[in-house]
Amino acid sequence: MVPVALAKIEVQDDAGKIVSVAKPVRRIVSLSPHATELLFAAGAGPYVVGVAAYSDYPQAAGDIPRIGDASGLNLEKIVGLRPDLVVAWKSGNPPRVLKRLEELGIPVFRSEPRSMGDIAENIEDLGMLADTLDVARRESADFRLRYSDLRSRYAHRKAVGVFYQIWHNPLMTVNGQHLISDVIQLCGGINVFSNLPTLTPQIDIEAVLQANPTAIVAAGFNDSTVLDGWKKWTYVDAVKKDNLFLIPFNLIARQSPRILDGAERMCAALQKARASYE
């Protein structure tokens, strides 16, 4: 009997590249925390043999060997894990490292979700590569259902001007192509810096004062002081109405299914901002 060759598995990543593997992957290295979360959501967690620093969710990720952080990767350690797939962060990992991995014959899937729908697609693509598509499809269906529910509840409410602060020193925000901007829009908000050309632009305080947002949102925890600097600008609508909101970093800044938890907090915050003007 002549053995039947198995068809190779191919998906398109977020860089528009075709990622091809001869058989389901069984040794995966993740180069960012969000990629780690996507892999576990896709049912491929048992096959992850290396992860980037700060991969702290789900709990099982804490026991997996580290290969450096997203911008400081240990190439020798990655190669030593003998991966048959590397899942990279397109805009956050050094391109030279990703290129070298490909030169060594290691398939690289570049992940860069720019919309909520992209997250569901990433989950399914990774499930395809790992032959865990049943799990991945259930997870992506649940994600899309929660997203649809939030959209139906908030997207068409009265618009709220929002300034999202990535960092306070230097002052940075997101443009309209960023996933966080998609979250703002989902909640019926308008990103006041959506038209800027770069994904995560550096801006000055004067630009924010001129935009006069109704709400200012940043990633942080209840004891964070990252928004305190705005309190002196009492003529800004967001400050005047005490519409300064913090969302836990890992829920809003990671391109993973948990961003829906961050979206729920964003929607609640913008609803409070609306109510402050009624």
User: Which residues neighbour 219 within 8 Å (Cβ) at sequence distance 6 or greater?
Assistant: 166, 226, 246, 247, 248, 249, 252, 253
* 226-274 residue pLDDT tens: 999 999 999 999 999 999 999 999 999 999 999 999 999 999 999 999 9
pLDDT at res. 221: 75
- In CATH terms, the fold of domain 156-275 is Rossmann fold (3.40.50)
More confident residue, 7 or 175: 175
170 falls in which pLDDT band (50, 70, 90)?
A: very high
Q: What is the mean pLDDT of residues 160-174?
A: 95
pLDDT at res. 64: 98
The CATH code for residues 9-143 is 3.40.50.1980
pLDDT at res. 188: 97
pLDDT at res. 115: 95
Q: What is the mean pLDDT of residues 152-171?
A: 95
**In the chain, which segments carry CATH 3.40.50.1980?**
9-143, 156-275
Mean residue pLDDT of the chain comes to 95
* 196-212 residue pLDDT tens: 999 999 999 999 999 99
Judge contact between 55 and 61, C-beta under 8 A. Answer: yes
pLDDT at res. 277: 84
pLDDT at res. 5: 52
Phi-psi bin for 89: left (phi > 0), alpha (psi -120 to 50), beta? beta
DSSP output for 43-82: T-GGGEEEB-TT---SGGGGGSPB-EETTEE-HHHHHHT-
Q: What is the mean pLDDT of residues 98-121?
A: 97
* 111-127 residue pLDDT tens: 999 999 999 999 999 99
Residues of the chain with pLDDT > 70, as a percent, come to: 97
pLDDT at res. 278: 76
pLDDT at res. 2: 47
pLDDT at res. 105: 97
